[in-house]
Each structure stands twice: as structure tokens, then as C-alpha cells.
């Protein structure tokens, strides 16, 4: 569970609800037509802009960032150092037996064990990293576009409400409530954009950066194994991807 995300959601929701309750009746902020315009319009525009598989991937990614912690790069460094020592003892072919939840690591080990040329391994792993970046960019862009669509449909809903209000000017008592309802759609659009879509896009971008660092560590580790570097040299090279305050010492790692 991502603690920071949960705290942010709860903190924002509590403050928002408290501000509404202190300023008046919460029922004044509920309007079904406004919700339909903003939610429905945003979803429709998003489906028009992106393929359904990309939208579904974005939904899955949003669930993932709230339910899973990000990976620890120190653990990846530890894995690569352990693999380098394994190769020193038993040879490169032993990497064919490596089991890991990381598909990228399994592929790197498989390429090395198959005695592929160094340049082929470099190109394959680099292409894998770039492909992952492109996939993640599309997922992030879904939420960035939704953050743009939501306020626009909020304003559209406000215009619809104003038109309906102006059509009933003969009843002055209805102008105030009608204006409030008209403004609610702008409120919904701004709320979704600033409290949901933009934060999720930002969180996804941060997770992508962490993932890229993880893959870069594996990439550099694999190249170092091919170059027959010793485990200490590999550790010193890979640990530079991690901020100094977060680095674990080599002697504290379980590298076999």
C-alpha cells in the first residue's frame, strides 16, 4: 500500500468536506445533471482520444500505484551483485536457471546465458527500456488529458445551467439556486482535475522514473557481468543510481 497516496487522499478529502460543512449544507454541492455532464463528458472525450486498451491500462495503473509500494533499487543492486558472483563461480550459463518476477531481468539473464554478442544484448535491453517508457507515457497522458477535459466540461455544464437560468428570468426567486447549480459543474471539473487526475498522472510519472532506474541498474549490471567485472566494481557502478542517503553498504547485502 502506498502510504503517501492514501494520506494525501484522506487529508484532501477531510479538508474539503470540512470546508463544505463549515460553509453550509453539503446537499448544496450535489447535482446529478452536473455529475453526468462532467463525468460522462470527460469519459467520452477520453475514449474518443485514446484506444480502449490504453484507457483500461491507465485504470489498472492507477489501482496499482495505490495498492503496491515502489521497488527498492537497493534490492536490484543486491540481485545483480549476487548474479555476478554466481557467474564467477559457475559460469555465464548458470544465468539460464535464474527465476525472477522481473521479465526484464529474466530476459537479460537469458541473453547472457545464450552467449549473445555484447552489442545485441545492449541493443535489446536498451530497446526494452525505451519501449517501457513509451507505454508508461501513454498511460500518464490519459490522466493528463482527463485533467484537461474535466474543467472544460465543467465550464460547458455551467453554460448549460446559465442558459436554463436565463430562460426562467420571469421567476426572480429561482435565479439564485439556478446560478448555484450552474456553478457546480465548474466545481466538479476543477475538483476532478486538481484532486484526482493530475495527482494520479504525477504519481505515475514518479513511478516510471523509479522503474527506469530499476531497469537501468539491471542493464548496467548485465553489461558489467559480460565485461567480467568483479562484484565490488559492479556494486560501486550500480550504487550511483541511488541517492547517497538511501544506499546500502555492500557488506549489509545478502549477495551469497
The answer for residues whose C-beta is within 8 angstroms of residue 175's C-beta and 6 or more apart is 165, 168, 169
Q: Where are the alpha helices (DSSP H) in the chain?
A: 3-23, 32-35, 41-49, 52-67, 73-90, 103-113, 118-166, 175-192, 198-226, 231-238
Tell whether the model's pLDDT for residue 149 goes beyond 90: yes
Q: In whole numbers, what is the pLDDT of the chain averaged over residues?
A: 85
Q: So what's the pLDDT on residue 40? A: 93
Region at 115 (left for phi over 0; alpha for psi -120 to 50; beta for the rest): left
Q: Could you read off the pLDDT of 3-13 as tens digits, one per residue?
A: 777 788 788 88
The CA distances from residue 24 to 17, 35, 173, 249, in Å, are: 11, 20, 19, 56
Tell whether the model's pLDDT for residue 239 goes beyond 80: yes
Confidence category of residue 58, pLDDT binned at 50, 70, 90: very high
CB atoms under 10 Å from CB of 6, counted, come to 12
Domain ranges of the chain: 1-30, 31-256
pTM for this entry: 0.82
Say how far apart CA 116 and CA 101 lie, in whole Å.
22
Residue 146: name the closest of 84, 95, 204 by CA.
Answer: 204
Say which residue, 33 or 45, is predicted with more confidence.
45
Q: So what's the pLDDT on residue 254? A: 66
Say how far apart CA 185 and CA 37 lie, in whole Å.
8
Average pLDDT over residues 29-45: 89
Q: Write down how long the chain is.
A: 256
Q: So what's the pLDDT on residue 138? A: 94
Q: Could you read off the pLDDT of 151-210 as tens digits, one per residue?
A: 999 999 888 888 878 877 777 776 777 777 778 899 999 999 998 999 999 999 988 998
Q: Which three cell numbers stand for residue 139?
A: 498511460
Q: So what's the pLDDT on residue 2? A: 66
Say how far apart CA 35 and CA 212 lie, in whole Å.
38
Q: Could you read off the pLDDT of 68-125 as tens digits, one per residue?
A: 777 788 888 888 888 888 888 887 788 888 888 888 888 888 888 887 777 888 888 8
Confidence category of residue 57, pLDDT binned at 50, 70, 90: very high
- Cα Rg of the chain (Å, integer): 26
Say how far apart CA 25 and CA 31 lie, in whole Å.
13
Q: So what's the pLDDT on residue 137? A: 93
Amino acid at each position: 500500500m502506498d502510504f503517501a497516496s492514501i494520506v494525501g487522499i484522506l487529508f484532501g478529502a477531510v479538508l474539503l468536506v470540512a470546508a463544505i460543512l463549515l460553509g453550509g449544507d453539503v446537499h448544496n454541492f450535489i447535482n446529478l445533471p452536473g455529475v453526468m455532464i462532467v463525468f460522462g463528458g470527460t469519459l467520452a472525450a477520453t475514449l474518443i482520444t485514446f484506444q480502449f486498451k490504453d484507457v483500461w491500462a491507465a485504470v489498472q495503473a492507477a489501482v496499482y500505484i495505490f495498492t503496491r509500494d515502489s521497488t527498492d533499487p537497493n534490492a536490484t543492486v543486491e540481485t545483480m551483485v549476487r548474479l555476478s558472483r554466481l557467474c564467477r563461480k559457475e559460469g555465464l550459463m548458470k544465468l539460464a536457471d535464474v527465476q525472477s518476477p522481473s521479465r526484464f531481468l529474466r530476459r537479460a539473464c537469458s541473453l547472457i546465458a545464450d552467449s549473445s554478442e555484447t552489442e545485441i544484448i545492449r541493443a535489446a535491453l536498451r530497446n526494452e527500456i525505451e519501449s517501457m517508457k513509451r507505454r508508461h507515457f501513454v498511460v500518464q497522458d490519459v490522466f493528463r488529458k482527463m485533467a484537461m477535459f474535466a474543467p472544460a466540461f465543467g465550464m460547458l455544464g455551467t453554460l448549460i445551467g446559465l442558459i436554463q437560468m436565463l430562460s426562467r428570468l420571469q421567476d426572480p426567486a429561482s435565479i439564485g439556486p439556478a446560478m448555484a447549480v450552474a456553478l457546480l459543474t465548474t466545481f466538479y471539473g476543477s475538483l476532478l482535475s486538481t484532486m484526482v487526475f493530475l495527482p494520479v498522472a504525477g504519481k505515475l510519472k514518479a513511478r516510471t522514473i523509479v522503474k527506469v532506474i530499476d531497469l537501468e541498474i539491471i542493464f548496467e549490471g548485465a553489461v558489467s557481468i559480460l565485461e567480467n567485472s568483479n562484484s565490488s566494481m559492479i556494486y560501486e557502478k550500480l550504487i550511483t543510481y541511488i541517492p547517497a542517503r538511501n544506499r546500502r553498504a555492500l557488506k549489509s547485502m545478502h549477495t551469497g
